[in-house]
Structure 1
Amino acid sequence: MGKVLVLGGTRYFGKRLVNLLLQEGVHEVTVATRGLTDAEFAGPVNRLVLDRSDESSLAKAAEAGPWDVIYDNICYSPNEAMAAVRAFEGRVGRYVLTSTLSVYGFVKSPLSEEDFNPYEYKWAAGERGEMEYGEAKRQAEAAFLQEASFPVAAMRIPIVLGPDDYTRRLHFHVERVMNGTPIGLPNPEAAMSFITSAETAAFLLWLGGSDLIGPVNASSDGELTISRMIAMIERETGKEARLLSEKEVEPENESPFGVPSSWVMDTSKAKAAGYEFDNVMDWMPDLIKQIAAGQA
């Protein structure tokens, strides 16, 4: 890829991406963050202090280029998208935006890229926090893909899990089963897609080096119902889960996987381009075991 800028690369899959780039040994990597986290990497990186919401700050990052590839893990509004479009015009060869399964809503399952078309979606200016998360990401995708003159790929991912998940979403379920704390779930039989932080980083690396543009779904192969995941936790911990409807438990015990219906991604586009995904059952049992043993 050459000269690479990572916006948001000091934790979780962003940090893993930086380390993968460094391991390849052929890229000049720059990490741009607010400068609040002093992350250590597997090799030398350049660092920029960046306020993602400040267009003048983005312009300074652009001036440090031109960039062969930019990875943007921290864009959360159409205003931030348009600021990047203006700042990096003529200064980037390829732009990879981290997006989300949440752009689809609960319309059907499985969900393919065509189920939300950002090229035709009417977008309007707005700041972070002025709209809910899924709409903000829809608007950001639309702004980039309609307004940027440079190539843009939008990686859409489901819930990301791993031992380094600072949101501790799978930890939530394991810990509550172990402690006998009730878990609120509206539909335990809903199937979901998941992906690991490691594979998210690997996919980003691959996507940056590919020629795919537009939205691209990425998730581990295989659907997993929440009830099956809970059963796996029960087997590992030797405890029985207390599953209740969300109305029967306190808000703090409502599951972060509490979806009303199945929410599964179709990854045919990425597979047709040559990417092979892990299967969810290749890693989920081991991750549950790690968390239960207090090793994650």
Structure 2
Amino acid sequence: MAKMSVLVLGGTRFVGRHIVEALLAGGHRVSVLTRGRTPDDLPGQVERLRGDRDEGEAGLKALAGRTWDACVDVSGYTPRQVRASAEMLRDAVGRYVFVSTGSVYAEQDRHPVREDDPLLPQADEDVTEVTGETYGPLKVTCERIVREVFGARATILRPQIVAGPFDPTGRYTYWVDRVAAGGEFLAPGDGSDFVQVIDARDLARFTVGVLEGDVPGVFNLSGPRLTWHEFLDVVRGATGSDGTPVWVDPATLEAHGVGWRELTLYIPVNGEQGGLMDMANERALAAGLTLTDPLVTARDTRAWSEDTPQKAPLSREREAEVLRAVREG
């Protein structure tokens, strides 16, 4: 297979880092455009370009007069950012792969959520503030811009919550670290709800495959769907922990002021967003997506996080307080 030159918009953190490493493993040449504000542990052969996408076209001067075989956009969150990069690169790259999100879907209580399901209303192109409310609509607008500019040369990836080493969000890592610590720990629901994530390395390999095969389309990227019982058993097995879950129902959690910000990954299966833990991946599997064993994802994440302390969304003190209150009835 011919080796490609690929521009990655972003590339030094988490998802972008894994994509860069997968491209290099495939023998491809990689350039990254970043602001240079975050630690850069990428290999030396990666070309570093500097720019700030928040400045629109003015922030992309480093791309002027250059061409690449393809572009992967992992840092496009606002229409201002994506409009500028898409139009500047219209004739400078072949395929444009935009990493979007599963949060674009309007009916998040569907089971399962599929690529052709309705999307949220688009945000206006002048919206620049990314919040919990604007995140999904902004990504919908960004997707539309990419398709508008690149047509059949556009590929849209909609990942589930992404897990694995180098994750700065702590959403998945919290559970791996908490279970590894042992003892009793607060677990949401009764174990029958679901957890579904995508390993960052699976996302990265699929991205490379899309580029190598010049594959168009829209793809959900989601991993195995596990019950919470299964998920925590996997994590205990991966970490060698004897930790014991104490299951607490959603109503009791709410009564004690514990929500999704503290108990990351938890979405009740019958809740308004329950479908986000039931994202269909058949289309991506048919296009070459391969999935890492959840045990491997948990094991490798812990191997990284053990030496990279994360701030826990639910502190041990707060957890103990809630468990004590639950027991006291």
Aligned residues: 290
Listed one character per residue, the Cα deviations across residues 193-219 of structure 1 (whole Å, up to 9, x for unaligned) are 211122121111112222332321122
> Within 5 Å, which residues of 2 pair with 1:71-150?
71-104=72-105, 106-116=108-118, 124-125=124-125, 126-129=127-130, 131-149=133-151
Partner in structure 2 of residue 63 of structure 1: 64
Residue 19 of structure 1 deviates from its aligned partner by: 2.2
Q: Indicate the SS of the match to 2:8.
A: strand
Q: Does 2:242 match 1:242?
A: no
Distance in 2 between the 1:34 and 1:157 partners?
Answer: 24
23, 26, 41: which one pairs with 2:25? 23
Counterpart amino acid of residue 31 in structure 2: T
Partner in structure 2 of residue 197 of structure 1: 200
Q: Does 2:299 match 1:286?
A: yes
Distance in 1 between the 2:304 and 2:18 partners?
Answer: 20
Distance in 2 between the 1:269 and 1:153 partners?
Answer: 13
Q: Indicate the SS of the match to 1:74.
A: coil
Question: What is the percent sequence identity of the aligned residues?
Answer: 27
Partner in structure 2 of residue 152 of structure 1: 154
Residue 282 of structure 1 deviates from its aligned partner by: 5.2
Distance in 2 between the 1:187 and 1:210 partners?
Answer: 43
Structure 1: give runs of 5+ residues left out of the alignment: none
Q: TM-score, normalised by structure 2?
A: 0.76
Residue 85 of structure 1 deviates from its aligned partner by: 2.5
Q: TM-score, normalised by structure 1?
A: 0.84
Distance in 2 between the 1:185 and 1:111 partners?
Answer: 23
Listed one character per residue, the Cα deviations across residues 167-193 of structure 1 (whole Å, up to 9, x for unaligned) are 222331234343657547367432232
Q: Indicate the SS of the match to 1:140.
A: helix
Q: Indicate the SS of the match to 2:108.
A: coil
Counterpart amino acid of residue 8 in structure 1: G
Q: Does 2:263 match 1:255?
A: yes
Residue 56 of structure 1 deviates from its aligned partner by: 2.5
Counterpart amino acid of residue 296 in structure 2: W
Partner in structure 1 of residue 322 of structure 2: none
Structure 2: give runs of 5+ residues left out of the alignment: 309-329
Listed one character per residue, the Cα deviations across residues 94-153 of structure 1 (whole Å, up to 9, x for unaligned) are 1001111111252312222111469xx655312132653222212211222234457111
Residue 39 of structure 1 deviates from its aligned partner by: 1.9
Q: Indicate the SS of the match to 2:244.
A: coil
| CA RMSD between the two structures | 3.0
